[in-house]
Structure 1
Amino acid sequence: MDDPVSAQRASSVRRSLASIVLGFELIVVFLATLVIFGLSDLPAWVTLGGGALLCLIMVGTLGLLRYNWAYGVGWAVQVVMVATGFLNPAMFFVGALFAGMWTYCMITGSRIDRQNK
């Protein structure tokens, strides 16, 4: 039998939107890591290790979105994404786009979840 509480959590619009944004952002982080690796004077282990760490954090956050504190980690990921603009200036724009999408999805998803409750 399905647990009604877990069914309600699974159908959360906020959670669905957060997973969509983080999923697409994960692809962009992977590709941006390769670009920064190719264009930067940083050692390879710093660039590739930092990108891999950020990807792992994002994958972990995707799996933990059933907890409220995971959304705070999502906000921290957005800050890190904007800060990667110091390594490649184009990432200021990309990070700002994803931070804007994250903000919109958190506000809209929470509003819809409240209305559905």
Structure 2
Amino acid sequence: MSARERRPRRTRGALESLGAVVLGFESIVVFLGGLVVFGLKALPWGIEPWWGIVGGVVMAAAMVAVSGLLRHRWAIVVGWALQVILALGGILVPALAVVALIFGGMWAYATIKGAALDRANARRAADPDLSNGE
């Protein structure tokens, strides 16, 4: 396939776009949260502090991976699971609960409002005579 015959890009919906932005920015904060867990030595006795960094890296990588897969329905469920795991991190460092609350709210908005926008756009594309999307 030559450069002139490229396949057109797949159009992304509002849910996919908003969700990817939320998870992308959240991955940075989660990585930094892992550094906080390491620095405060907040893990229970017997667990090496460097596992905090490992946990932050794994969570951040999972969020980046899921942000690229949001075209699949199961990826939205995995995104919710990541929000719950982050909220559970609030047991170790209460500031992570605040982060989970803020980004969980943004994730909820992205998934709920994004899906509503996608449905409205699909209706409008199916019947262009609709006025005001009704």
Same fold (TM over 0.5): yes
CA RMSD between the two structures: 1.5
Unpaired stretches in structure 1, ≥5 consecutive residues: none
Residue aligning to 1:88: 93
Greater C-alpha radius of gyration: 2
| TM-score normalised over the length of structure 1 | 0.88
Q: Distance in 2 between matches of 1:56 and 1:36?
A: 17
Q: Distance in 2 between matches of 1:59 and 1:65?
A: 10
**Structure 1 runs, 4 residues or longer, greater than 6 Å off:** none
Q: Distance in 1 between matches of 2:17 and 2:112?
A: 13
What is the count of residue pairs matched by the alignment? 113
- Considering fraction of residues, name the structure with more helix: 1
Q: Distance in 2 between matches of 1:53 and 1:103?
A: 22
Identity over the aligned pairs, expressed in percent? 44
| TM-score normalised over the length of structure 2 | 0.77
Secondary structure of the 1:44 match is: coil
Greater RCO, CA 8 A, separation 6+: 1
Question: Residues 82 and 91 of structure 1 are in contact (CA less than 8 Å); yes or no, is this contact kept in structure 2?
Answer: yes
Residue aligning to 2:24: 23
